[in-house]
Structure 1
Amino acid sequence: MSSTAPRFGVNYTPSQGWFHHWLDFDLDAVRTDLDQIAGLGLDHIRVFPLWPLFQPNRTLIRPAAVDQLVRLADAAAERGLDVNVDGLQGHLSSFDFLPAWTQTWHRRNIFHDPDVVAGQAEYLRTLAAALADRPNFLGMTLGNEVNQFAAGPHPDPDRITADQAEHWLHTLLDACEQGAPGRLHLHAAYDAAWYQDDQPFTPAQAARIGALTAVHSWVFNGTAQRHGRTGVATEQHAAYLVELSKAWALEPHRPVWLQEVGAPAPLIPAEHAAAFSTATVTAALDCPDLWGVTWWCSHDVSRSLADFPELEYSLGLFTNDGRGKPAGEAIAALVAEQRRQPHVPVPRSTALVVDAGDEHTAPGRSVCAPGGAVFEAFARLTADGARPTTVLADRSADPAHLAARGITEVVTPEQAGTSSTSDAATAAHPW
C-alpha cells in the first residue's frame, strides 16, 4: 500500500472571464487568483487551455498561447502550487470547444480520423514539452471528460468502438510522454465510463491506461435525486467511485485521483455545501491508495456570463470577486487537519462483487450506476458500518488477487440485501 499522503488541489477557473481569459490573458489577475488558492493550503491546480484558441488550425499551435500557459505555470510555482494541464478542451461546464478544422465543412471524427489524431498528438506533445523542464509540472491529462463526445446523450457524437477508444488513448498518451518523459500523464472521463452500458470509453481503460486512474464525482447524476443531500450514497459517491475503479485495476494498489468533485446546487443547497464538502472529502480520505482530491472549482462563474446551467455559477471555493465561501473554509480545515494528523486508511477487507459482463467492454456496467444493484448494495453496506471495496466477478474467487488487495470477505449485491434488478438512470449530461 502506498504511504504517500494524498494531495489537495483545485480545478482552476479564472475569476475574470472564466476560461475565456486566454483571449485577454492578465497575469496579474491570475496571480491574485493563485494567491487565494494557495491561501487555502492547497498544493496543486488543474488548468484548462481552450483547444480552439491554442490550435486554431491543424498545423498552427500558437506560440503566444503556449507562452501564456507556461507563464501561468511559473506563477503557480512561485506560490508553491504544482500544475496538471488538460489539453483537449474539449468540453467544459456544458459548452463544447472544438476547433473549426473538426466541424461542419471539415467534419471529421475526433477519435479516429488520422489527420485529426495526428494534430491532437502534436498539440499535446507541444504543451508537454513546453513545461517539461518545470519542476512543478505534474503532467498532462488528455482532456476534460472527452468521453462525452463519443456517445449519447451528446447531441452529435463521434461514434467509435471500445478498441478505437483504446487506440486513441495510447496514441495521445504516448505523445505526452514524448513531450515530457516520466511525468504523470493520464486520461479522464465523466462517470458514463463507469455507468453507461454503451459508452466506448470503459472502466478497464480508465483503470489500466495512464499513470493513474482519475474519477469525476458529481451527485447530480441521479444520486442526490434518489438519496437526498445527506444520504449515505450521496456523501459516499466520490469514495464509491474510487473503490469501484479498483475492481478493474490490474495493479492491486494503483493510485486513484479524485480529479473532480463539487457541491452542485440546488441538490446541495448553498447552506449545506460546507457540510457536504467535509463529508465527501472525509469519505474519500478513507480510501487506500488515494493519490489526491482536486475540488471543482476555484472561483464561481460570473453572473455577467450567459447561458451556463444554473449550478455552474456557484461551484467555486471563492466568489468570482475573490471572497471566500464556506465550502472553501471547510476544504482548508480538512487540509490543515490532514497535514497535522494524517488519516492513514487500513485496507478495505469486504469486497462487493461486480458483474458487468466482459471485463474489457463492461456491457452491463449500469449495475454500477445510481439505482443499480452494485451501487445500492455499496450504499447499504456502508450504512451498516462496513467499508466496502469492489471486485470483478471473475476475480472474486482468486485467492492471490484477494490477498494482494487485503480482501478477506466477498459478498454479492443480493447478499448485501439490495434488489438485483437495476433501475439505473440513463447517464446524465456530463456537466
Structure 2
Amino acid sequence: MTSAVRFGVNYTPSEGWFHHWLDFDLDAVRADLDSIARLGLDHIRVFPLWPYFQPNRTLIRPRAVEQLVALADAAAERGLDVNVDGLQGHLSSFDFLPAWTRTWHRRSLFTNPEVVEGEASYLRTLAAALADRPNFIGMTLGNEVNQFAAGPHPDPDRITPEQAEAWLRRLLAACEEGAPGKLHLHASYDAAWYQDDQPFTPAHSARLGALTAVHSWVFNGTAQRHGRTGTATEHHAAYLVELSKAWADDPHRPVWLQEVGAPAPLIPAEHAAAFTEATVTNVLDCPDLWGITWWCSHDVSRDLADFPELEYGLGLLTNDRRTKPAGETLARIVGERRPHAPKPRTTALVVDTAPGRSVCAPGGPVFEAFARLTADGARPTTVLADRADDKEHLAARGITEVVTPHQVTE
C-alpha cells in the first residue's frame, strides 16, 4: 500500500536544552524551528519537563501550558506538526520526576492512585490545550517511561505486566479525553523488546495506542558486536520495526521509528552521515512505516555539564543552528522522497520468547538470525511461534515462508 512516510526530528532547543522552559524565549524557539524547517522535515516531537509543568500534584502551571501552545503555534507557522511527550520523565541520562513522587513523598509512578490521577490530569490538560490545533498530532505518554519500572534503573518502581497495562490504558484514555481522535501512543526504550524482566512488554507496544513506537539505539550491544557498518547495525532500526509486527494484532498496524540517532564513539562523527543514510534507507524498506523522527535537532551546548559524552553531538544541527553532514543527508533524502510502497516482506522469522525476550536482543538467536538473513539478501519480518501455522494471519501479512532461527544459523 502506498503512503507518505513522515520525516521529523526530536526537538532539543539550541539554547538551554530542555531547561529552556525555565527561561522560555519564543524568538529563540522560532529560530530553532526555522533551522529545522529548512531541512524539509514535517514534524517535531516536543518535551515539556514534567516537574516544571506540574510541580505540585494539583498545580499544572497555566503559563507553562501557554508556552507549550505558543511553541506549537510557532511550529505550525513553519509547516511543522507537533507530537508532545507528557511525562518527562527521563531524557539524555537525567531523570525529571516531580518532588511529589520522590523521597519523603515516594509513591509508585504506576500504581499509586493519587499519583496516577495526577498524571492523568496533567496529560489530559496538555492534550486539551492543543486539541483544536490542526498541527497537533497527539500525545506520547512519556519518554521511555518503562525505564522507571525495572533495572538497570538504580531505584525502580517495580510492577507486573498487568499493572503496566492498566497504567497505559488509564493514561491513554486521559489523552483521548483531552483531545479526542488524535494519535495518542506510548513509547518504551528497547528493554520492552529485549529484557526478560521488563514489565512493559512487546504486546503492550504493539497493541495499545494508535500506533507502535520503536526507539533504535545501536549502543545497546549491536554496534559493539557488529561494528559501525555491520548489517545488524545499519539494519537495527528496520529490525525493531519488523520485530514489533510479530505481536501486532492488526496485520498493517503503523509503526513509528520515533527515536534513532548516530551515537559516538560507536558511530564516529565523520561517519554519522553514512550511518544516517544507511539507517533511513533500510527502514524505508519496511511496510506500514508511519514515520522517522531523528534524535535530535540541535547539539547540546558544551556550556552544560555532566551529560554523557555522546549526548553532546547527536544533533542534525549544531547548537548555533548550522546544518551538519547528517542533517544534509537527511534533508537530501527528504527532498528525494517518493511514495512509500515497499513490497511485502514474505519471509518470516519465528519468534519464540518462552526462554525470555533476550532471544531477540543483540547476540540472541532471533536477532542474529535476522541479521544473517538480511546479509544474505532476504527481507525478513517476524512472526510469533503460536502464529507460525496460522494461514490467515500469514496471508494477511503477505508471508509465504516461515523459518526458525535454528534453520537460519545451523
* TM-score range relative to shorter protein: over 0.9
Residues 237-271 of structure 1 show CA distances to partners (whole Å, capped at 9, x for unaligned) of 00000000000000000000000000000000000
Alignment partner of 1:355 is 2:352: yes
The corresponding residue for 2:48 is 49
| 5+ residue gaps, structure 2 | none
2:405 is paired with a residue whose SS is coil
Structure 1 runs (4+) greater than 3 angstroms displaced: none
Alignment partner of 1:402 is 2:399: no
1:415 is paired with a residue whose SS is helix
Aligned length: 410
Q: Which amino acid is the alignment partner of residue 393 of structure 1?
A: A
* Equivalence map 1:22-33=2 (5 Å): 22-33=21-32
Alignment partner of 1:412 is 2:404: yes
Q: TM (normalized to structure 2)?
A: 0.99
Alignment partner of 1:222 is 2:221: yes
Instruction: Determine which of 373, 376, 384 is the counterpart of 1:384.
Output: 376
1:417 CA drift (Å): 1.4
Residues 307-326 of structure 1 show CA distances to partners (whole Å, capped at 9, x for unaligned) of 00000000000010111100
Contact 2:3 2:341 in 1 (8 A): no
Separation in structure 2 between the aligned mates of residue 321 and residue 193 of structure 1, nearest angstrom: 36
Contact 2:3 2:339 in 1 (8 A): no
The corresponding residue for 1:345 is 342
Q: Which amino acid is the alignment partner of residue 92 of structure 1?
A: L
Separation in structure 2 between the aligned mates of residue 117 and residue 394 of structure 1, nearest angstrom: 35
Q: Which amino acid is the alignment partner of residue 142 of structure 1?
A: L
The corresponding residue for 2:240 is 241
Alignment partner of 1:371 is 2:370: no
1:32 is paired with a residue whose SS is helix
Q: Which amino acid is the alignment partner of residue 41 of structure 1?
A: G
1:343 CA drift (Å): 4.5
Separation in structure 2 between the aligned mates of residue 116 and residue 389 of structure 1, nearest angstrom: 39
Separation in structure 2 between the aligned mates of residue 414 and residue 332 of structure 1, nearest angstrom: 41
1:95 CA drift (Å): 0.1
Separation in structure 2 between the aligned mates of residue 167 and residue 113 of structure 1, nearest angstrom: 12
Separation in structure 1 between the aligned mates of residue 215 and residue 36 of structure 2, nearest angstrom: 21
Q: Which amino acid is the alignment partner of residue 164 of structure 1?
A: Q
2:291 is paired with a residue whose SS is strand
* Equivalence map 1:77-92=2 (5 Å): 77-92=76-91
Separation in structure 2 between the aligned mates of residue 417 and residue 227 of structure 1, nearest angstrom: 16
Q: What percentage of residue pairs aligned between the two structures are identical?
A: 83
Note the aligned Cα RMSD (angstroms). 0.7
The corresponding residue for 1:360 is none
1:344 CA drift (Å): 1.7
Q: Which amino acid is the alignment partner of residue 217 of structure 1?
A: S
Separation in structure 2 between the aligned mates of residue 349 and residue 334 of structure 1, nearest angstrom: 26
1:152 is paired with a residue whose SS is coil
1:389 is paired with a residue whose SS is strand
Separation in structure 1 between the aligned mates of residue 5 and residue 244 of structure 2, nearest angstrom: 17
Q: Which amino acid is the alignment partner of residue 118 of structure 2?
A: G
1:96 CA drift (Å): 0.1
1:4 CA drift (Å): 2.0
1:215 CA drift (Å): 0.0
Separation in structure 1 between the aligned mates of residue 273 and residue 408 of structure 2, nearest angstrom: 31
Alignment partner of 1:332 is 2:331: yes
Separation in structure 2 between the aligned mates of residue 76 and residue 343 of structure 1, nearest angstrom: 25
Separation in structure 2 between the aligned mates of residue 342 and residue 163 of structure 1, nearest angstrom: 40
Separation in structure 2 between the aligned mates of residue 377 and residue 336 of structure 1, nearest angstrom: 34
2:133 is paired with a residue whose SS is coil
The corresponding residue for 2:4 is 5
Q: Which amino acid is the alignment partner of residue 290 of structure 2?
A: W
Separation in structure 1 between the aligned mates of residue 160 and residue 184 of structure 2, nearest angstrom: 23
Residues 331-363 of structure 1 show CA distances to partners (whole Å, capped at 9, x for unaligned) of 00111111xx33420000000000002xxxxx6
The corresponding residue for 2:190 is 191
The corresponding residue for 1:72 is 71
Alignment partner of 1:61 is 2:60: yes
Q: Which amino acid is the alignment partner of residue 343 of structure 2?
A: V
